[in-house]
Structure formats: C-alpha cells, structure tokens
Amino acid sequence: MEIVAYGVLADEEPLLHDAFGRAFGGRHELRCLRLFLNRDTAPTAAGHEVVLSSVNATLDADVLRALANGGTRMIAQRSTGYNNIDLTAAEELGLAVARVSFYSPYSVAEFAWALALAVDRRIVRAAHRTREFDFRLDGLMGRDLRGRTAGVVGTGKIGAAFARIAHGFGMRLLGWDVAENPDCLALGMEYVERELLFAEADLVSLHVPLLEDTHHMVDARMFALMKDDAILVNSSRGGLVDTDALLEALRAGRLSGVGLDVYEEEAGVFFLDKSLEVMTDERLARLMTFNNVLVTSHQAYFTRDAVGQIAETTVANVVDYFAGRTSDNTLVRAPAA
C-alpha cells in the first residue's frame, strides 16, 4: 500500500522516511509531496487509504468529503493543533483522524524566548546594520529582564518550559490557565485573572490552543491593558491575536516589541516562497513595516528533536489504525467493522 504525505518540508522528509521504514520495513510505501492538502489538491489523494496531513492543510467538510469519496479512510495529522480539521464531518464520513498530542515542548518554548530576546535587544536590526558595516548603537538599547514580570498565558507543557526559562532569568511569574500547573506553582508562579496578567506583565507569551473561546483573546481591550513598553510573543496559533487590534496598538506607538511565529491568515503564505509575488495580505505587509516586530514562518517546533518525535508519533498512529487500536492521539475513531 502507498501512503501519501502532504506538506512535507525538505528537512522533514528524511526523518519521516526513517520512522516509516522502521515501522513497516518495506510493507508499505511512503510518497512525500510538498503541496498542501486542500480543495484543489484533494483529488491527488484518490486511491490512498491513509494520508498524512500538515498543520497548513484545509480539511473542511468539502475536502474531507472529496477524500472519503476517493477512498481515504484515515488522516494522520503531523501536528498537535487540529483546528484546521472539521472533526464532526470526519466522523459523519467515517474517517479516522489522529494527531500528535505531544512532542518536545522545549523546541517551542526556547524559540519563544529567542523571539523575546531578539525584539528586546533589537538583534535583527543590529545584524542588518553590521552586515553593512554600520556599527552604531543608536536605537538598539534593550533592557534587562531580570526582576521584570513574565506573563505566561497557558501553562501546559510548553508554557511550563517557558516559565522555567523565565525563572532562570530571575523574573516574576504570572500565569493564566483553566487549571493551575503544580510545576509552575513550584517556580513561584502566581495565577491571576487574564486582565491582571496583561496589565502587569512586561513580557506576555501565548501558549494556549486555538479554540472558540481563545480566538482573538488578545484583542483591543487586552492591548489597552498592556504596558506601553511591554513585549508580546505568540508562538502558538495566529488566531489568538486580533491582527487589526495589534496594528492599531503599533500605530499608536505602543509595545516595545512583538515576536510572531504564527499569523491568523498564514495558510497559503507560510512555508511558501512568496518573494517574487506581490504581497496581497495588507495586514501582514503592514506588520512587516514596524521595526519592533519580528515575524517568522511557524518554525518554533522545527528542531530535529521535535520533528523526529512528530514523525515517530505520526507513523505510530498509522500502525494503530491498521491494528484497530486507538490512543490518546485519536481524535476520531475508525468506524466499527
């Protein structure tokens, strides 16, 4: 049987093939495609019982119906997030769906800190200057983080890893989540209402999933509460931040720095080369004009450790499907035979 994987990045492909080979030993073949799975590309999955999707796939009811009509019975998503999948439609169509519920939290937490430090210390601007042999320090002044307040929105595995690093910097820790994490409490974190966290934090880092309740959780009201010189980092999901409200705050000269590894309209843009095209997304283009904003292309998870774990877990999900098993990664069970 041939299994097809969509949205596979060049550095990801060998890790996926290695995991696949160890699991199946030649019993199945893996074909990796760069294109993303969506309405236009769904017909290419015809005849494939199992497809491996990426976080930038569009798996709405129409796409899922096309997959099911083409013979697909199982979708293994190579990410933790699954807000791009219509799970209700998948269940109605008899499609099994699984995700990667866990991989190295340090990959994302460490990258979130890389963004925070880069915007605090003006690293990108400094690097551009020195490449032109301009060694002035004008406009590059940052500030110590020791003794300041880090607000961690979402204190699961990634948020807790971020908090441990903040603790190492000697920062005061504020947290917000639906449940308190004992590991974070042990660091001295104080859990507070979300409004108080945004009002008091010098650095706010987002680590919650994108749900109906968290969509645009960082809106105009929250920006109004933040300190004028606060730093905002989002390495979770783009839809957590209301981009229009963020642009309004930036235009007003507020916020010391913003680090974004995700963007709410990133589908069809991130992971692709758009350098020879006109950027038609005016909000993204506008964000790029602010010298205190750093945008990266959803790469926080992209370490050999994390991607290797994602590949191993994805293949394990496929093995479970063939064996008729479910696990904590199962989002929609396969229909009973």
Tokens 């969506």 belong to residue: 38
Torsion-angle region of 218 (φ positive above 0: left; ψ -120 to 50: alpha; else: beta): beta
Query: Is 237 part of the annotated catalytic residue set?
Result: yes
Are 167 and 190 in contact by the 8 Å Cβ rule? The answer is no
Residue 39 tokens, joined = 């309405």
Active-site pick, 48, 78, 122, 237: 237
Question: For residue 74, what are the CA distances in angstroms to 3, 15, 60, 255, 311?
Answer: 10, 21, 15, 45, 16
* CA 257/CA 112 separation, integer angstroms: 13
CA distance 74 to 185: 40
- What is the distance between the alpha carbons of residues 204 and 226, in angstroms, rounded to a whole number? 9
- Cα separation, 120 vs 197, in Å, equals 19
Judge whether 92 counts as a catalytic residue: no
* Dist CA 54 CA 104 (whole Å): 17
The token pair at 214 is 């968290």
Contacts of residue 324, Cβ cutoff 8 Å, sequence gap at least 6: 334, 337
Q: What is the residue whose two structure tokens read 């210390």? A: 121
Q: Which of 78, 99, 148, 298 is catalytic?
A: 298
- Which residues are CB-contacts of 31 (< 8 A; sequence separation ≥ 6)? 2, 3, 4, 5
19 within 8 A of 41, measured Cβ to Cβ: no
Distances (CA, A) of 274 to 239, 271, 278: 21, 9, 8
22 belongs to the catalytic site = no
| Active-site entry in 266, 277, 282, 312 | 266
Question: Any idea which residues carry the catalytic annotation?
Answer: 237, 266, 298
